[in-house]
A and B are shown apart, each in its own frame.
Chain A
Amino acid sequence: MIIRGTHRVIVQGITGKQGTFWSERMMAYGTKIVGGVNPKKAGTEHIGVPVFASAVDAMKGLPEGFDVSILFIPPMGAKAAALDAIEAGAKAVVILTEHIPVQDVMYVMAAANERGVRIIGPNTAGGVTPGECFTGFMPAFNDKIFRPGNVGVISRSGSLGTLMCLNVVQAGFGISAFIGIGGDPIIGTTTRDALEALDAFDKTDAVVMVGEIGGAMEEHAAEYAATMNKPMAAFIAGGAAPAGKKMGHAGAIVMGNKGTYQSKADALAAAGVAILDTPMDVGPVLKERMG
């Protein structure tokens, strides 16, 4: 799902240093943050919003509840916090945390799936809907990067996604939504899920996907891309990476022939997606494809 300026958002871990810093920025940009969670500071107010003991309490205590929770929670506490948000009835939970044990993530996914809750992340820098709101730690204010427009961008990596948006904007376009899906091997919103969301988003006329070596998400996304009418371009990072080495993101590892650059590029090209040799090539390709 694409998080909009109309969504009511809470921040779990709002009173921490990063939680405070980024919540203030999100609010200033337009994200409708209506509350926060910290069990030790329940009943107080922090940066102008009420703090609750749990997401469940926040859902009950806030006059109109909330739609989305963003987690600024350390790895070993993330499972409990996410389960709390799911239990509360959140529509979506954005998990920014890196290094959550994978079995904890799978536990959260199973619970979310049962309740129909959308998980975004873990290990994502968040997302930006330019001109409306952002979630996580994104440089949304920088209008050289997140100028509003009609190109949707998907990326596992926050820094690389930011770079792609910069290149799109430098080419004279703007961004309708940036969805950071996260770098972990198991994530709630896959490349394909994000692609479907942008395909359904009326502000988006074209999609740029930033993939990475490892896993099979780009191949799955290609199946959906083949059915899309909106033009699409893709850059896949890691073509120069040696096999078998983890390149920072736990998800970015090539085992044998699986998850290789070539397998992804071939699948996407066969689906009619323009493959970019470098992120800088996005401008000319968009100009050509969007007429």
Chain B
Amino acid sequence: MNFEEHAGKPLLKAAGIPVPDGGTAITAETAADIAGKLIGASGGKVVVKAQVPTGKRGKAGGIKLAGSADEAREVAAAILGMTIAEHVVGKVLVERATPFTREFYAAVINDPETKGPKILFSTLGGMDVEEAAEQDAGAMRTLSVDIRKGPEKGAVRAMLDGAGLDGLEDQVVEVLMKLYEAYRANDAELMEINPLAVLEAGGLMALDCKFTMDDSALPRHEDLAMTGTPDRLTGLEAKGKELDLKYIELDGDVGVLANGAGLTMTTMDVVRHHGGTPANFLEIGGEAYTKGTDALRLVLENPKVKSLVINFCGAFARTDVMTQGILNAWDELKPTLPTFWSVHGTGDVEAVAMLKERLGVEPLPDMSAACKAAVDAAKGGAK
């Protein structure tokens, strides 16, 4: 789950990393109020930042300075409602603008290569850090951490050797230790500060925060999860989520229903191999294998679907239970679209017998034949 800047920064603050004062607004009027208080207290300017779960907000015009409450109202009105990378801005963060001299990059990630946490740091902070890192691989310093012990200060300090920090090393070490704490405390996949600013007045401050929580850890962070940004879902995808089924809507017209993520992806691949286009990803494997009835409903609700391939290969998931679920929905929904089955693995003898008895249907010999038949049917060809 992704968290926008305004939801991530309090976690940095809780770990002891300085962040600018400010607040969030969903109207231009509230933005003006916050700006008025911040400027009234100490003069200077505020920065108004669109809150959307994507980078490149600055380039898109989603981040603007304002020197007064009125100006903050104006820029907030312009930013609220704008679209950045398909996200409509519904909220802005209004913060005290803080003059700085340098911008660094700092992050902690889950690293599949070392199977442990990795701390990242670069003096090339700012908007294009990914590009900068690609151009100059040596610019990104990294440190692998034993998660049982956490990072050692000495190792973090050594990681910064020769980075050109001009006496800021100890402060950066301090921030990286705290960033690691925030990463660990919140089950982050990614906890990132970009930029980590060197202030004119001295000291370091996190001017942005990107936080992605590991979805598997959501059950132990229920309160925090409320401040995250839910995935943007289509109507059918939202319905799938409610039913605890992984459903992704795609552009094609061949409905796909299979068990297991790998098999479902492969069914989509084979549909494409035969010249068709899948209408959806939907798998009922794992513990969801009893949900055949819900799954069939979901696939059929997509008006683009012209034919259907049902591909079961049972391991943990029993093909007879899945088939039974589909058949129960069949009796109720009485679908008329051409449907092609391939059924193998655990429970297949029972499943095939059930299909013959209740639908008078024989599965095709393999999934390739079933996918090909479904593609042909969707194109209006012979079954």
Contacts and interface: CB of A to CB of B under 8 A. Distances in A.
Interface in B332-383: 344-346, 348, 366-368
B113 interface: yes
Interface in A185-216: 185-186, 188, 210, 212-213, 215-216
Contacts of B283: 248
B159 interface: no
Interface stretch (A6-14, A49-57, A103-111, A225-233): A103-111
Nearest to B113: A216
A242 interface: yes
Contacts of A215: 112
Interface in B271-306: 271-273, 278, 281, 283, 285-286
A213 B281 CA distance: 15
Residue among A100, A212, A237 facing the most chain B CB atoms (10 A cut-off): A237
Given A186-B112, A241-B265, A110 B314 contact: no
B99 interface: no
Contact of B217 (A103, A110, A159): A103
A280 B367 contact: yes
A233 to B, nearest CB: 15
Interface range for A: 35 or more
Contacts of A98: 286
Nearest to B263: A159
A137 B315 contact: yes
A108 to B, nearest CB: 9
Interface stretch (A29-37, A61-69, A160-168, A267-275): A160-168
A241 B217 contact: no
B118 to A, nearest CB: 10
Interface in A210-253: 210, 212-213, 215-216, 235, 237-242, 245, 247-250, 252
B173 interface: no
A278 B262 CA distance: 13
B107 interface: no
B302 to A, nearest CB: 16
Contact of B281 (A160, A163, A170, A247): A247
Interface in A43-90: 75-76
A185 B314 CA distance: 23
A184 B184 CA distance: 19
Contact of B260 (A145, A160, A170, A216): A160
A110 B148 contact: yes
Residue among A76, A145, A188, A216 facing the most chain B CB atoms (10 A cut-off): A145
A166 B345 contact: yes
B281 A110 contact: no
A26 interface: no
A249 B346 contact: no
A160 B344 CA distance: 11
Nearest to A249: B261
Contacts of B220: 76, 101
B29 interface: no
Contacts of B101: none
A111 B124 CA distance: 35
Contact of B110 (A106, A161, A188, A213): A106
B27 interface: no
A240 B269 contact: yes
Nearest to A211: B262
A143 interface: no
B313 A166 contact: yes
B266 interface: yes
B112 A216 contact: yes
Contacts of A239: 269, 272
Interface of B: 110, 112-113, 115-117, 146-148, 184, 187, 189, 214-217, 219-220, 246, 248, 250, 258-266, 268-273, 278, 281, 283, 285-286, 313-317, 344-346, 348, 366-368
Interface of A: 75-76, 98-103, 105-107, 109-111, 113, 125, 136-139, 142, 144-145, 155-163, 166-167, 170, 183, 185-186, 188, 210, 212-213, 215-216, 235, 237-242, 245, 247-250, 252, 277-280
11 contacts: A75-B219, A101-B217, A103-B147, A106-B115, A136-B316, A159-B314, A163-B344, A241-B268, A248-B283, A252-B262, A278-B368
Given A103-B147, A161-B315, A213-B265, 13 more contacts: A106-B115, A109-B116, A110-B115, A155-B262, A157-B262, A159-B259, A159-B345, A160-B266, A185-B110, A186-B115, A210-B262, A238-B265, A248-B265
Query: A-B pairs with the 9 shortest C-beta distances?
Result: A157-B262, A248-B261, A159-B260, A160-B262, A137-B316, A101-B217, A159-B263, A158-B315, A240-B272
